[in-house]
A and B are shown apart, each in its own frame.
Chain A
């Protein structure tokens, strides 16, 4: 059992600098901050910026695909836009957003004053802007950014030009940031819980992040090592991935997806945790099967490390390997099903209300399930041969990542922003934002199933005439979805400047957990003395 010492961070007993203290002091507060709430805010703002940049790139892609033929960008830049979109959304958008939420919420949910290593936390954050801005800067160097897709497959990636070295450097920086963040979160959760909060009493969001942090620790070093090998192939004459020198390009695919598949769960397990917090609050019931949810998380994480080759069925694996990876992949649907059924059982006969966070959580459950089902379809080897490298795959993973991961992040922000800012967001705008997003996200991605099944390849700027109508629909959906997000930005801006109805400490009638026992907005320093964990606050 762990305890929290009240005497740590005694160097931080000062209020945060505001604009009234001068722009220099205010800037230095944000640059040098070691406060988990400040860093959580920085992570979320940075990820918001990257989601906009990645979103604009997706609009470039959809504008080009609006009609057959080449009309907006040249094919080379189209491939670069696709590649940058993927890397920016994953490493700059989704992952930092979840880390930001962990920064804000994990210490408050386990009743400790800050993360275990606040200075490491600051360093882990500030690596990210340098990394992502370097990646974006490759747009302006000779040859432009990588054009090989976010997967960086050789030999194409090795023909990239100058951006090869820049991209590898960027991956290393984001890797160091992720590993430092993961270590910080694990140490905080294992060592700094308030007395009485045993592991199985921890809220699901904390559990989801504990499991995610271990996944990061186990797989990110593999990504770093594999891109280092790409660097030596590119600049030092080695031939790890070159058949001409005795190497094997397929080897890179194995290594990449050994990281890449757990990465998928790194981007979805925290979403499971968020939804497991929101649904009980608005169903006014305890989460059904708390412990089984924890075991399901651990089970999914373990299985995620033995299914990587389902991304490469089409390269020609031995039948025995294809069978193993097919069955292992299908097995993941069991713990995932446990989670879906537990969420439904939590809502069963609950006194449900449908505020914006609940709408996004429900949208997550329904639309993530669509992405999950199409994933189950492509787990089947013979079926995957048909789907491989088509828009069916694009539809599948976007259902998992947009109405899945992104909706959970948006829902989490709506859920916790009254606690962060001290004021309620505009509920009417929130409802409009949800329904706008829910409609247009399906307009973008549902037709992509059809064109994919009909054989439209992904990562190609031009296509045959029979795909024209669905692509036009998809492009219209993309622009409309993007426009709708400004409703969210406006709503959040109003909260951040303190405009709105004052939030109560509990904020939501059905909310339980230590974060709701502190005032709204949460003070700059919370739980410097370990709180007493009341039975009613165990979620």
Chain B
């Protein structure tokens, strides 16, 4: 895998983590 592709993959994973924290938190608040 090229350097650029590895960077993009890791960045997308990390962005996914941030979005998941936001959504999970929001979901928890709305459903309790």
Contacts and interface: CB of A to CB of B under 8 A. Distances in A.
A225 interface: yes
Given A225-B25, A225-B29, A220 B18 contact: yes
A217 B26 contact: no
A183 B26 contact: no
B15 to A, nearest CB: 6
A191 B17 contact: no
Given A5-B2, A225-B26, A187 B10 contact: yes
Nearest to B26: A225
B11 A217 contact: no
B3 A225 contact: no
Interface string A224-255: 11101100000000001000000000000001
Contacts, number: 59
B11, B14, B18 interface centre (most CB from chain A within 10 Å):
B18
Given A190-B10, A191-B3, A221 B15 contact: no
A217 B17 contact: yes
Given A8-B4, A222-B21, A116 B11 contact: yes
Contacts of A191: 3, 6-7, 10
A229 B7 CA distance: 33
Contacts of A182: 14
A117 interface: yes
Contacts of B2: 5
Nearest to A176: B18
A4 interface: yes
Specify the main secondary structure of chain A where it touches its partner: helix
A222 B7 contact: no
Question: What range describes how many residues of A lie at the interface?
Answer: 20 to 34
Contacts of B19: 221
A306 B7 CA distance: 31
Contact of A222 (B4, B11, B15, B25): B25
A277 to B, nearest CB: 26
B10 A4 contact: no
A229 B29 contact: yes
A417 interface: no
A186 B17 CA distance: 13
A217 B17 CA distance: 8
Given A221-B22, A225-B29, A229-B29, A116 B7 contact: yes
A449 to B, nearest CB: 37
A225 B11 CA distance: 21
Contacts of B3: 3-5, 8, 191-192
A183 B14 contact: yes
Interface in A249-264: 255
28 contacts: A3-B3, A5-B2, A5-B3, A8-B3, A116-B11, A117-B7, A120-B11, A179-B15, A179-B18, A182-B14, A183-B11, A183-B14, A186-B14, A187-B10, A187-B14, A191-B6, A192-B3, A217-B14, A217-B18, A218-B21, A220-B18, A221-B18, A221-B19, A221-B21, A221-B22, A222-B21, A222-B22, A225-B29
Given A116-B11, A222-B22, 17 more contacts: A3-B3, A5-B4, A116-B7, A120-B11, A183-B15, A184-B11, A186-B10, A186-B14, A187-B11, A191-B6, A217-B17, A221-B21, A222-B21, A225-B26, A225-B29, A228-B26, A229-B26
Nearest 7 CB-CB pairings of A with B: A221-B22, A221-B21, A5-B3, A116-B7, A183-B14, A225-B25, A187-B10
